[in-house]
Amino acid sequence: MVAADWTPHRRDDGELLGWIHPDGELWVSVDVLGRPVSEPSEWLDAEAALDAHGIAWLADAWMLEGEADRPLRVRIVEVTPTANGRAGRIVVKVDDFGDTSRPATAPYVLEWPLPSRLRPPHAGDPDPRAL
């Protein structure tokens, strides 16, 4: 949950990169999926960690486990953090490889922060183009 003491950190264009929150006398940066990006550090180092981490990785393929007999290759289409008593969510869809002629697939709505069943691809994952 995004707590009251979490400070949003944004790019120069205003896009949210994550938050910085206190950890004792130091600060920890957290990305938009709720994952720690840095160890406790000085404020400027926490900002630099979020700047370096960026958000481009949100456009990468991810793997969703537990919905089929093998992991599904998916793309993130929405990230809404938990805040102000409202439950957060991460919405993904099966990767269509940019094929706009395919019918839309039903989205999978997951809890925020990032659940363990949504993960980056591993080398041994099945080829999503093979049936």
Q: What is the pLDDT of residues 17-55, one digit of tens each?
A: 999 999 999 999 999 999 999 999 999 999 999 999 999
Question: How far is residue 85 from each of residues 1, 3, 17, 88, measured CA to CA in Å?
Answer: 9, 10, 21, 9
Q: What is the pTM of this model?
A: 0.87
Assigned token pair, 60: 């990468």
pLDDT-derived band at 2 (thresholds 50, 70, 90) equals: confident
Q: 31 or 83: whose pLDDT is higher?
A: 31
SS (H, E, C) 44-110: HHHHHHHHHHCCHHHHCEEEECCCCCCCEEEEEEEEECCECCECCEEEEEECCCCCCCCCCCCCEEE
Whether residue 131 is predicted with pLDDT greater than 80 in this model: the reply is no
Candidates 84, 92, 95, 88; CA nearest to 113 is: 88
Q: For residue 29, what are the contacts with CB-CB under 8 A and spacing of at least 6?
A: 9, 18, 19, 20, 36, 37, 38, 46, 47, 49, 50, 53
Query: Is the bond preceding residue 113 a cis peptide, omega within 30 degrees?
Result: yes
Assigned token pair, 115: 């659940």
